[in-house]
Structure 1
Amino acid sequence: MSAVLDKVTINGVEVPLIFERETLLPIASMQVVFRYSGSLADGEHPGLAKFSARMMNEGTKSLGATGFARALEQRAISLSAHSGTETFVFELGSLKEQFDKGVSLFADLLKEPNLTDESFKKVQTTTIGALMRKESDYDYQASLLLKKALFEGTPLARPADGAVEDIEALKLSDVKAFVGKHLVLARAIVVIGGDMSLEEAKAFAQKALSPLAAGKSEPLPFFEASDKGRTVEEYKPTEQAYIYFGSPFALRVDDPDAYKARVAAFILGSSGFGSRLMEEVRVKRGLAYSAYGRIVLNKSSSYFSGYLQTKLESQDEALEVVKRVIGDFVKKGATQQELDDAKMFLLGSEPLRNETLSQRLGRAFNEYYKGLGLGYSKKQLELIEALSLEELNAFIEAHPEIAKLTVAIVTAEKK
């Protein structure tokens, strides 16, 4: 059966529930997603959401990190927390016969997370170590530099993991305050499926989330990408130039024309070999091992971005090629052959994106979260199949803003 949207009442709060039954294998899985609880909600503490997720992976106070991990491992249960830009997510999975125990352990984790000084210091030390190692990851540094320039003055300009000084300044009380505010029923969405009935799924959700307070939700803000078209450089002892580029894209995540953006991005830069950027930058000129570009449509932002690495002496030429390719794409659009190839791949590869229960549940969640309605993915494929070259090129021409590139380069200082 396909996924259905329902709701479950927990402690007097109606929580959205997305469910799909899958009886081919005796498995069960559940995701609990908390809205507007990712890095956008860090406030004055960059990196707080991701740090809090790491703390929630430290088990319960009663069992500790080691004891909690052992309780999961003995029953082949997986349970983890992670944080993105907009959401904070728990994932639980196991064989159906062990799922009730997994749900009990999940409830214990929410009831008494191991938010102790000992765990805090452990997570703080490992996080700082990871961030220090990233200081020599120039690809990562270039991506941060782009976000800083593209979304200057907004929470999206800050590194989601924070910087070393941010993590050093964190206190355990900051984590407790974040968890108390964000892990609440008013922000929760349950995504659950497997070898169970809808009523069983609701019972599992009630049991897992019963320790949570009702709490409050709030609307997710939207942040515009810069159209200033400036270039920023950062000098490092590197033998490669790391080039990231981005621009605004005037389309919201739930726009009816979003499927056209998917096709346009595929042709321009997201399809690997065969894309305009890859053909012009690598295949024809050998300026980079790869060149990539994509359109990002989130609830909090919409923008075009891409990247490449090249030799120091080739960075100016490579960047000029990128700008010319994007400019030509906006002015002239795609060819019929490019549209036909894009349709063949996007339609033909659809079964591979829909094979597993987790893939289908993930898709259903995205459809709901982005306000598209369950089943939109199938409708989108029908729209792509019917898309004409004239319609696609009119759409591309209507978005000249993607040529207003902000460029971030990590490179060696010129002698």
Structure 2
Amino acid sequence: MKKIVLAFLLIGQIVMAAKIDSIEVKGITIPLIFEEDVRLPIVNTQIVFTNSGSITDKKIAGLAKFSAKMLNEGSREMGANGFAERLESKAIHIAASTGSETFVIDTGSLNEQFKESMKYLKMLLEEPNFTKRSLEKVKTMTMGAISRKENDYDYVASNALKKLLFDGTVLAQPSAGTLESVKSIKLKDVESFVKEHLVLSRAIIVVGGDVDIEDIKKQMKKVLKILPKGKSEPLPHYEASSDAKTDILKRTTEQAYIYFGSPYNMAVNDEDYYKARVATFILGTGGFGSRLMEEIRVKRGLAYSAYARVHVSKSVSYFNGYLQTKIESQNEAKETVKEVIAEFVAKGVTADELEQTKKFLLGSEPLRVETMSQRLNRTFMDYYKGFKPGHSQEELEKIKNLKLADLNKFIKAHKEILELSFAIVTK
């Protein structure tokens, strides 16, 4: 136990080593999150563009992810293979990806190749391989992946649930797009997306490793000065539907895939988020000790696993979960989910459940911040959500001191999670 506490304290000190600075490019102040770590001779750099993920795909579903894949086709001069071979020869990694709210360009290298990695990153951003040949290649790969997912019933049920919760919004469509939407993408669509979203006013830099912060500032200015200033826009916020609906999708399957969800009234910077974290751990995130697992698997044998969590971001806040069960048990499983959640809201949790959850969340904390990338991501998320550095550590202290009466009052106040919608893939 002493070793765990010591590790926790040491890691707490490491987390605080991550600091927030900034650089100025073309009159735009760009946040810089940095942590020096000299234990390994490596450097990892991310440029995060906010309000640039799949949530921006209002006209063409899947355009953000498609644009990231196009950026991964290398530079126009070298082509995809030539660019990849050149990076490999120098042990440099450059890749673009998207989330729901962000577009990220990740660069990694040995510290001795840091300047070289920035040179190739600049080359990629200056002249990406946006050609008709690359477009058709990415279309073929993307449409193939979408076609294969038609038989992934977890994917099908998950998308169906989002359509129930966010019907009529961009969130109701698959982030990867559909066969029709991907087929319709033109080069000008990708070029317009990059021009609008990969801009200085949306950029946040995240860097960690064996490198001096002044070197980072110098190299990043060289890279970023090729980007336009652009403009930053606030993220839209979408409310999950409180109309409890059920969508049954018939497929050739031997199992029923049950996905469920409901609204969850909480802002991304809500100081009570730590209570939601504890509550959902007890209800459905905590594995075999959770209420859903205990009732659905242990007591009734309806499923191998059952899971539930809360999603709270700038653009959405909702509760969801899932399980698989036998075809003949799907109705019982659905009703059991509703019963477990209803009892949870009505009666709250026990003192023992709270104590065990505290022990797990506090005791396992070192595993969540043991790598540099984990620590940087945590610092970034605190900053992105509008909290000051070290907020995550303060949240752990709040969990440690959380009283049972306060937690149960919080749980009983969130009756909106009872408005459950279900998406079920069945035979």
TM-score, scaled to structure 1: 0.98
The one-character-per-residue Cα deviations of 1:197-218 (angstroms, maximum 9, x if unpaired) are 2212212321222211111110
The one-character-per-residue Cα deviations of 1:361-397 (angstroms, maximum 9, x if unpaired) are 1111100111122111100000000001111000000
Point out where structure 1 has 5 or more consecutive residues left out of the alignment: none
2:370 is aligned with 1:360: no
Q: 1:48 aligns with which of 63, 72, 91?
A: 63
2:146 is aligned with 1:131: yes
The one-character-per-residue Cα deviations of 1:11-50 (angstroms, maximum 9, x if unpaired) are 3221111111111211111111101101111121000000
- In structure 2, the residue matched to 1:278 is 293
Q: CA deviation at 1:62?
A: 0.8
1:320-399 maps to which residues of 2 (within 5 A)?
A: 320-399=335-414
Q: CA deviation at 1:232?
A: 1.0
Q: CA RMSD in A?
A: 0.8
Identity percentage of aligned residues = 56
Matched letter for residue 232 of structure 2: S
Q: Is the 8 A contact 1:226 1:248 kept in 2?
A: yes
TM-score, scaled to structure 2: 0.95
CA distance in 2: counterparts of 1:111 and 1:286, whole angstroms: 57
* Higher alpha-carbon deviation: 175-184 or 193-202: 193-202
Q: Which runs of 4+ in 1 moved over 6 A?
A: none
Q: CA deviation at 1:313?
A: 0.2
- In structure 2, the residue matched to 1:86 is 101
- In structure 2, the residue matched to 1:13 is 28
> Partner of 2:423: helix, strand, or coil?
strand
1:263-342 maps to which residues of 2 (within 5 A)?
A: 263-342=278-357
Q: CA deviation at 1:132?
A: 0.6
- In structure 1, the residue matched to 2:424 is 409
Q: CA deviation at 1:225?
A: 0.3
> Partner of 1:218: helix, strand, or coil?
coil
- In structure 2, the residue matched to 1:217 is 232
Q: Is the 8 A contact 1:19 1:201 kept in 2?
A: no
Q: CA deviation at 1:336?
A: 0.7
CA distance in 1: counterparts of 2:196 and 2:219, whole angstroms: 23
> Partner of 1:192: helix, strand, or coil?
strand
> Partner of 1:40: helix, strand, or coil?
helix
Matched letter for residue 186 of structure 1: S
CA distance in 2: counterparts of 1:94 and 1:283, whole angstroms: 48
CA distance in 2: counterparts of 1:214 and 1:44, whole angstroms: 23
Q: Is the 8 A contact 1:31 1:89 kept in 2?
A: yes
CA distance in 2: counterparts of 1:23 and 1:14, whole angstroms: 27
Q: Is the 8 A contact 1:146 1:408 kept in 2?
A: yes
1:90-169 maps to which residues of 2 (within 5 A)?
A: 90-169=105-184
Q: CA deviation at 1:5?
A: 1.1
CA distance in 2: counterparts of 1:28 and 1:15, whole angstroms: 19
> Partner of 1:142: helix, strand, or coil?
helix
CA distance in 2: counterparts of 1:274 and 1:68, whole angstroms: 49
CA distance in 2: counterparts of 1:102 and 1:197, whole angstroms: 15
Q: 2:263 aligns with which of 222, 241, 248?
A: 248
CA distance in 2: counterparts of 1:140 and 1:400, whole angstroms: 28
Aligned residue pairs, count: 412
- In structure 1, the residue matched to 2:243 is 228
CA distance in 1: counterparts of 2:259 and 2:196, whole angstroms: 35
* Higher alpha-carbon deviation: 133-142 or 4-13: 4-13
